Amino acid sequence: MTPKTLKAIQNYWHHAQDLGSLPVDYETWPAARKQTFLWEERILKSKYDALPPLEKIDVVGLFLTALKKKMDRQADEAPANWEKAIHARGSVVKVRFIPAADTPFTGLFQGADYGLLRLSVTGDPRDRGFAPGLALKWFVDGHASENVSALVSLIGQGQNYNFFAHELSNIVPVVNQVGPKLINLIFRRVTQFPTKLYLEGLGSIDQSGQPVADPDYPVQIFLVPANSIQFSESPHEFRKDFDTIPAETTLFAMYGGTAESAGDAARSSQYRQQAQLIGHIQTTSEFVNSFYGDSQLFFRHQRFRNR
């Protein structure tokens, strides 16, 4: 980390103490106001002058993390002294969700105008390879936001540095390797299904905060990168690729369905072929790398359960 970057982080840290926590009535705000506040008063104000270095996965730190909070905390800001042991550095962008005309799914799958998307890798690619992941937050009027995360796989894509080379999903196959098995064991302390995330919340409420009487939501989603935003596979500072993506860019097509793939590779592949288009994720700003986006912006993991 350069002295300039370190100084910028330290300066923001002192400034963050003055900002304090989110306003006490924050959750009652409309979705648009929440997005604007986090973007303008937190993310933009803590934008890095220079990109901080990527960090290795902190397995010990992950073991010591209060993962129950990751599953149960319904807030957009992390608790005090929260540290990311995995996916420590990421780029954030404002997004909207444009639904397909014939999607059967309810709630936020019917459309969401105010969201934040964070793109990151599990850790320094020079350590364990390039492993893309994303976290998605949809703001809701007068209610807690709904969140979901997705990975390419538990082991990533080797030395392919094109972040958009492969689809991402909320369910990934179990991998019989030491590293992924160890991380799965850590997450098993708080969930029976460490390689799956549930989507019920996204189908149970709409953007205006109205609950859905008979929610319908997919078990698994597949986020398919747009062909127009492919980048070099060779090792490089991939975060600078995001700087070239303008607002109003379609990043992903979302596919899904209600069958259970069980997370194994064979069934997941078969299920993917049967999945239908749900909609598209489109940027409404440029990407930003910031202290707040790395340290305090919080995405809940909803525990998976069989339907």
**What top-level class would CATH report for the domain 3-295?**
mainly beta
276, containing H or E segment = strand 276-283
| Domain ranges for the chain | 3-295
Provide CB contacts within 8 A for 47, sequence distance 6+.
288, 289, 290
Single-letter code of the amino acid located at 38: L
Distance from C-alpha of 160 to C-alpha of 245, rounded to nearest angstrom? 19
> Quick one: how far is CA 176 from the chain centroid?
25
Backbone angles phi and psi of 81, in degrees to 5: 65, 20
Q: Tell me, what DSSP letter sits at residue 38? A: I
List per-residue pLDDT tens for the chain, 307 residues long: 444 445 455 555 544 544 568 999 999 999 999 999 999 999 999 999 999 999 887 766 655 566 666 667 889 999 888 788 778 899 999 999 999 999 999 999 999 999 999 999 988 999 889 999 999 999 999 999 999 999 998 788 999 999 999 999 998 876 665 555 555 554 555 566 656 788 999 999 999 999 999 999 999 999 999 999 999 999 999 999 999 999 999 999 999 987 655 455 556 667 788 899 999 999 999 999 999 999 999 998 775 665 5
Q: Do β-strands 90-99 and 143-151 pair in parallel, antiparallel, or remain unpaired?
A: unpaired
Distance from C-alpha of 201 to C-alpha of 190, rounded to nearest angstrom? 18
